[in-house]
Amino acid sequence: MIHQLIFAHPKPGMSEQEFQRYWLEVHAPNFASKIPQIRKYAVDTRIPLGEEPADPLWSGIAEIWLENDEDQIASLQTPEFLQGARLDEPNWAAFWRTVVLDTDANLVLPGPGSAVPHPVKLVLLVKRTNGTTVEEFRARSLGQHAKVALQLPGLVRYSQNFTRDGWYGLGETLLDGAYLFNFETEEALRAAYDSPEFAALLADLHEFVEPRYIHQMAAVEHWVIGTE
């Protein structure tokens, strides 16, 4: 199953709060969720964490699950997308700042399921170091790095999402993967973020990814279709 991550930013003149509210109350229920090929759909709204930038790269993430490549192509040809979700996008999102990442998810630590309806998460986007192959990056990530990550206090769910192989067919990709760390509360996330275990995670990460291309976002999950 394809796990697609879409990183979005508010359109000019719209506050982050207005952007998130429109996404959750208008775009998600009235447009995006109507696309028939979507199996699961969640919206992750950004929350502050660490030093706050004046203009965050993104203010939310759409997580979309599609069965296969055929369904993904078909979804982009539906009237629900072409005459619905796509036409609505300029009403709330700066589409020129949108980043789309199609991934294959590797679940390292299973989550709590529907027992926690709106857990918080930390998302780390990464790009492998020059000279490291995609295969070497993935093996290192799922091996030694996963062991370090699992030491984070309060961690309840953890997945490593790797950019799908097809994205490498035309050359180098913008990013090689996204790490998703779930916690039950915002307090638990902040405690983990400030912990020596997270410092160790970053130190290990710097051994096989480019530090300048590490992007982070803390967010709250809002399930629209399905649930983890």
* Model pTM score: 0.94
Kindly indicate the confidence band of residue 108, based on its pLDDT and cuts at 50, 70 and 90: very high
CA dist 5 and 76 (Å) reads 15
Q: Calculate helix-pair angle for 196-205, 186-193, nearest 10 degrees.
A: 60
**pLDDT greater than 70 at residue 228:** no
Which one, of 120, 190, 187, 125, lies nearest residue 156 by Cα? 120
pLDDT of residue 52: 86
Q: Which domains occur in the chain, in start order?
A: 2-225 (3.30.70.100)
CA dist 101 and 167 (Å) reads 9
pLDDT of residue 112: 67
**pLDDT greater than 70 at residue 115:** no
Please tell me the number of Cα atoms within 13 Å of 20 on its side-chain side.
16
Kindly indicate the confidence band of residue 176, based on its pLDDT and cuts at 50, 70 and 90: very high
| Tens-digit pLDDT profile for residues 56-96 | 999 999 999 999 999 999 999 999 999 999 999 999 999 99
| Tens-digit pLDDT profile for residues 192-214 | 999 999 999 999 999 999 999 99
